[in-house]
Structures are given as C-alpha cells and as structure tokens.
Chain A
Amino acid sequence: MYYARVVIGVLFGVLVFAFLDYALPSQNVVRISNTYNRLTNIPASSSLFWAADSTGTVENARGQRDVRFMDTVRPNGKVFVYRNEDTGWVWPPYFKYDSANLQAEATNLQSTGADPIWVNVTAYGWRVAPMSIYPNAISINSVAGPDARPTNWPAMIVCAVLLALLALVWRMWGQFRETGLQRFRRKST
C-alpha cells in the first residue's frame, strides 16, 4: 500500500509538472525565417494539442484545417516551428484572437541568416515531431541579439499565484478537518 501511494504520488507530480510545462508560456529567442499557411490534417488523437473547434477555426469536409505557421531558427542553428492559432475563450486561457495580426508581425520581422533580426517568441505547448504537434505562439518582441535572455514574468507570476492558492486551500482543508474532528469528539464524549 505504501509503495502504491508513492507511485501514485510521483505520477501525480509528473502529471502536474507536464500540465504546467505545456500550459504556461515559455520564451525563446529565435530568428523568423518563414511564415505561411498550410492545410493541416488534425487526427483525433492529437486534436487536444490544437485549437478547440469553437474558436472560429474552419475545417473542410475532410477535417483539414488551414493553420498559420512560423518557421524559426534558434541561435544555435536548430530550427523550430510554431503554429499560430487563436485560443479564443477556450482552453488554455490565453484569450488570444489576434493570430492574423501576430502573423503579420512575424512576416514583418522575417529575416535572413546573413542579416538576422532576433525576436523573443512567447508560446505555450510542445513541439513533438512524431505526433505533428506545435507550440502556439502568443506574442513576438524584438530583442537586442541572440544572447538575450528575457525573464519569463508571466509564468513566474502564474506559478506564484498558484502556490499562494495552494497554500490557502491547504490551510482551509486543515481548518475544516480540525473543526470536523472537534465536532466529532464533542458528540462522541
């Protein structure tokens, strides 16, 4: 029983970490090399990692979606692909509906390797090539150079708020238990 509880606890911890890692914004300094739309197949198995149906995304009869993408290059030379979809008022709570503007901004900041423009792309999600899922870009800011390390304030603030809430819920739970026990004892004596 003890080991089962340890295993369940560890799995739960990993799950929470993965969830936060997926949903919280991350920031990467990249150079945008291309922006385009591509008709994309979204299989049911990975539809969780794409925009929800009710955000105004259009699908054709075959279930394909016209999705905006951005090709980028990292300072170390490796490539990274972002998608650019509205999240609308659905999960995750970014309430993004300016993907057309963001795409225009990205196109404006597009640059070649010879004359690079370095930008900081804020995004959430994972790039998992075998499943064809991409992180969703949220905003783009130009930075001084490839060595810039912008502080990820949004994720820090969200983590701090979540920790404070957790502490509060913890104390509330403790209070409820204690009061419940006291009532129980008073009745039983």
Chain B
Amino acid sequence: MAVIRLWLVLLALEAVFFVALRLYLRLRRAERLRDRWRERHGRGAAGEDAFVARGMAGFEKGLRARLSFLVFVLPNLAVLVIVYLVNWH
C-alpha cells in the first residue's frame, strides 16, 4: 500500500530529524550554560560540570523540548493540507 509506505518513510525521516534536533538543542543549551559559568567564574573553576548538569535537568520541561515534538506533527499536517488543496480546492 502506497499510503502506508509514504507514512512509514515520513515517520522514519521525522524520527531521524527529531533525534538530530534534540541533540542539537541539548548541545547548544549545555554550551550556553558552560559559557555563562566561565563568564562568571573563569575557565577551569571547580563546579562547572555540576552547574551544567543542574541547568540541563529541566530541559525536558522546557518550551524548546516540548515544541520539538512538532517534528512529528507538522509534516503530517502539511501532507493533509496538500491533499486538501490539490484534490478539493
């Protein structure tokens, strides 16, 4: 079935993009936390890793982490919009 194949391919692409996007968001946040610590305490001061770990603890509840799930929504929505515009509009 072509529809199922389309959906599976779309899901696979979304999953790959989702993993990469999450990794990117995490790395960027950790880097910013690290920069902030170094700005305050200088390079090599003790407690840097603990500070970053504390800052990363709330990542899952943050706006960006929640919005990142749109990766699984928006492409499917786009497909529906295209189907509507092409066939019923």
Listed in ascending order, the chain A residues whose CB lies under 8 Å from chain B are 54-55, 88-90, 93-98, 101, 138-139, 154, 168, 171-172, 175-176, 178-179
Interface class of chain B by DSSP? helix
Nearest chain-B residue to A172 (Cβ)? Answer: B24
Q: Chain A residues near B89 (CB, 8 Å)?
A: 139
Q: Are B83 and A95 in contact (CB under 8 A)?
A: yes
Q: Are A93 and B79 in contact (CB under 8 A)?
A: yes
Given A89-B3, A89-B5, decide whether A176 and B24 contact each other with a Cβ distance below 8 A.
yes
Q: How far is the CB of B30 from chain A (nearest CB, A)?
A: 8
Q: Does chain A have a CB within 8 A of B21?
A: yes
Q: Does chain A have a CB within 8 A of B46?
A: no
Q: How far is the CA of A110 from the CA of B62 in the complex (A)?
A: 57
Nearest chain-B residue to A139 (Cβ)? Answer: B86
Q: Does chain A have a CB within 8 A of B31?
A: yes
Q: Chain B residues near A154 (CB, 8 Å)?
A: 85
List 26 A-B residue pairs with CB atoms under 8 Å apart, sorted by A's residue number: A55-B2, A88-B2, A89-B5, A90-B2, A90-B6, A93-B82, A94-B82, A94-B86, A95-B82, A95-B83, A95-B86, A95-B87, A96-B86, A96-B87, A98-B86, A98-B88, A101-B87, A139-B89, A172-B23, A172-B24, A175-B24, A175-B27, A175-B31, A178-B31, A179-B27, A179-B31
Q: How far is the CA of A25 from the CA of B89 in the complex (A)?
A: 16
Q: How far is the CB of B21 from chain A (nearest CB, A)?
A: 7
Q: Are B86 and A138 in contact (CB under 8 A)?
A: yes
Q: Are A175 and B28 in contact (CB under 8 A)?
A: yes
Nearest chain-B residue to A141 (Cβ)? Answer: B89
Given A95-B79, A176-B24, decide whether A54 and B86 contact each other with a Cβ distance below 8 A.
no
Q: How far is the CA of A55 from the CA of B1 in the complex (A)?
A: 10
Q: Chain A residues near B2 (CB, 8 Å)?
A: 54-55, 88-90
